[in-house]
Chains A and B, each alone.
Chain A
Amino acid sequence: MSAIMEEMGQRALKLGIPLSVQLDLTYRCNERCVHCYLDHEDHGEMNTQEILTLLDDMAAAGVFFLTLSGGEILMRKDFFEILEHARALMFSVKLKTNAILIREKEAERIRALGVESIQISIYSHRPEIHDAITKIPGSLERSLHAIRFLKTFGLKVIIANVLMIQNIHDQAGVRALGAELDCYVTIDPTITPMMDGNREVLDLNISHAQLENLFHDPELVGNVDEFCAIPAAPDADMLDSLPCSAGHTAAYVSPYGDVYPCVQFPLATGNVREKKFLDIWRYSPEMNEVRSITLGDLTNCSKCSNLGTCTRCPGLAYMEGNMRGPSTQDCEKSLVRTGVLSENLKARRNKPIAGLIQIQGMSAAMAYPGSQQPL
């Protein structure tokens, strides 16, 4: 992070300014990715005027970084009207898209509107893998065409490579593709639960051994010894610090106008159809509860030796049942990274597992499934 960015972030934190907001314009999508956390039905999206008014309110609240995402943003027929308004309000706009609806005309318009960057999901350099994940034949080819159009117009394109069991062996191929197309590539090895709490998609997460390979790849992490080092024990300053920017300088707004601390933190704090964005941001009891939490308040985590480098996500912890608790997915990542069990994992390993060690008299049917109950 640049010194100016750090300074502005600190100023925004001090002044209570939501510097960064992700606004999902729709959950509708033209792909059906196997790992997606969203329900793609339209349950009452904000209309054009509601979104334009929200953008006015967010600009007045001091929002500077605006990420327009979805669903697929170009599924909205008013997408360019929204983007044009956002740029007229001088937001720094980042788009997240699968890009399959972006052709030369759309790329030229995005360029003319001064978009900062476009993040495009690419799962593999091989069509048979990428298209199997999106469930749309030809989707890789179309996304790559779009990237080429965007690059022709000099735009900054970021390839987002989410890793799962289907494409773990293709991340080097995607990185090579990124180099060929002059795109920055981000790698995300975490599949998160669906927004409704359904955790079945977590089965798609890569194995510990595969994660370990990623964490020991200098091309991905830089200095492996430094990256995987056991962090210094938490001190008072660290325990006084904040878990992340969610609710402090960052927020998320759903297509239905619901405001959350982050896209990955489904704690409802208010709806912009009922209250002004800034009022929700400033006065929502839920948002203020999130803001009240320091690392020292975290159960288990505040005592954990991995705290200094752990990527604990408060939203994943919340989805696990306690926003002050651990996020087990991040505990597992820390274990792979440092080789040290987190306090949470230690507690889980020491905890008797109900059912397996209870001793009680068994009926013949229980002891020998399929057998008949004695008469």
Chain B
Amino acid sequence: MEAASQKRYVARSTQIAARAVGGEMMIMSAKDSTLFTLNEVATAIWEAADGSTPLDEIVDQNVCAAFDVAPSVALSDAEDLVAELSSHGLLLVSDQPISSTGGPAKETP
């Protein structure tokens, strides 16, 4: 129970535009038209931010498995990235799985 409560889920906002251009992700916030670019590692995290996979699993599966980086460093960098992107409204963060509409996912019966 305690371990589950530490899980963090991340989902892409529905109010953004995004496209990979030459390996880097280009993201625009519809709110204020601010443009961001993500490098290859950040793009891997972004693409995996489906709202249902916990951040530590995303880092494990999509960063540590693909890039030469220590897990603790990768998770710390990912936390910083998530904080930065969520502060601009590009990512939604929750301690529960997030539905595609931006809110916590409904329990399936």
Chain A residues engaging chain B, CB cutoff 8 angstroms: 2, 4-5, 7-8, 11-12, 14-15, 17, 19, 59, 62-64, 87, 90-93, 114-117, 156
Residue interface mask B17-38, A partner, CB < 8 A = 1: 1111110101010100101110
Check if B15 is an interface residue, CB within 8 A of chain A. yes
State which residues 49-67 of B face A: CB under 8 Å.
none
- Among residues of A, the one whose C-beta sits closest to the C-beta of B30 is A114
Check if B14 is an interface residue, CB within 8 A of chain A. yes
- Judge whether B37 and A92 touch: CB under 8 Å: no
Check if B16 is an interface residue, CB within 8 A of chain A. yes
Q: Complex: how many Å from CA A235 to CA B15?
A: 44
Q: How far, in Å, is B92 (CB) from chain A's closest CB?
A: 13
- Judge whether B14 and A4 touch: CB under 8 Å: no
Q: How far, in Å, is B38 (CB) from chain A's closest CB?
A: 11
- Judge whether A8 and B16 touch: CB under 8 Å: no
Q: How far, in Å, is A325 (CB) from chain B's closest CB?
A: 33
Interface SS majority for chain B:
strand
- Judge whether B16 and A62 touch: CB under 8 Å: no
- Judge whether B17 and A116 touch: CB under 8 Å: yes
- Judge whether A91 and B37 touch: CB under 8 Å: no
- Judge whether B37 and A4 touch: CB under 8 Å: yes
Given A4-B36, A90-B16: A19 in contact with B28 (beta carbons within 8 A): no
Q: Complex: how many Å from CA A101 to CA B69?
A: 54
Q: How far, in Å, is B22 (CB) from chain A's closest CB?
A: 5
Residue interface mask B81-92, A partner, CB < 8 A = 1: 000000000000
- Judge whether A15 and B21 touch: CB under 8 Å: yes
Q: How far, in Å, is B79 (CB) from chain A's closest CB?
A: 24
Select which of B15, B20, B21 is within 8 A of A114 by beta carbon. B15
Q: Complex: how many Å from CA A20 to CA B102?
A: 28
What is the number of residues of chain B that contact chain A, defined by CB distance less than 8 Å?
A: 17
- Taking CB atoms, residues of chain A closer than 8 Å to B22 are 11-12, 14-15, 17
- Taking CB atoms, residues of chain A closer than 8 Å to B33 are 116-117, 156
Closest 7 A/B residue pairs (Cβ):
A92-B17, A64-B19, A114-B15, A114-B30, A90-B18, A4-B35, A92-B28
- Judge whether B26 and A116 touch: CB under 8 Å: no
- Judge whether A114 and B19 touch: CB under 8 Å: no
- Taking CB atoms, residues of chain B closer than 8 Å to A87 are 14
Q: Complex: how many Å from CA A272 to CA B86?
A: 39
- Taking CB atoms, residues of chain A closer than 8 Å to B21 are 8, 11-12, 15, 17, 19, 62, 64
Q: How far, in Å, is A107 (CB) from chain B's closest CB?
A: 14
Q: Complex: how many Å from CA A63 to CA B26?
A: 11
- Taking CB atoms, residues of chain B closer than 8 Å to A11 are 21-22, 24
- Judge whether B28 and A116 touch: CB under 8 Å: yes
Q: Complex: how many Å from CA A62 to CA B25?
A: 11
Select which of A4, A15, A90 is within 8 A of B17 by beta carbon. A90
Q: How far, in Å, is B10 (CB) from chain A's closest CB?
A: 16
- Judge whether B16 and A114 touch: CB under 8 Å: yes
- Among residues of B, the one whose C-beta sits closest to the C-beta of A19 is B21
- Taking CB atoms, residues of chain B closer than 8 Å to A5 are 35
Which residue of A12, A63, A87, A92 has the most chain B CB atoms within 10 A of its CB atom?
A92
- Taking CB atoms, residues of chain A closer than 8 Å to B15 are 114
Q: Complex: how many Å from CA A7 to CA B21?
A: 11
Given A8-B26, A92-B28, A116-B28: A64 in contact with B17 (beta carbons within 8 A): yes
- Judge whether B35 and A90 touch: CB under 8 Å: no
- Taking CB atoms, residues of chain B closer than 8 Å to A64 are 17, 19, 21, 26, 28
Q: Complex: how many Å from CA A2 to CA B37?
A: 12
Q: How far, in Å, is B40 (CB) from chain A's closest CB?
A: 14
Q: How far, in Å, is B66 (CB) from chain A's closest CB?
A: 22
Q: How far, in Å, is A282 (CB) from chain B's closest CB?
A: 16
Q: Complex: how many Å from CA A7 to CA B24?
A: 11
- Judge whether B28 and A63 touch: CB under 8 Å: no
Q: How far, in Å, is B14 (CB) from chain A's closest CB?
A: 6
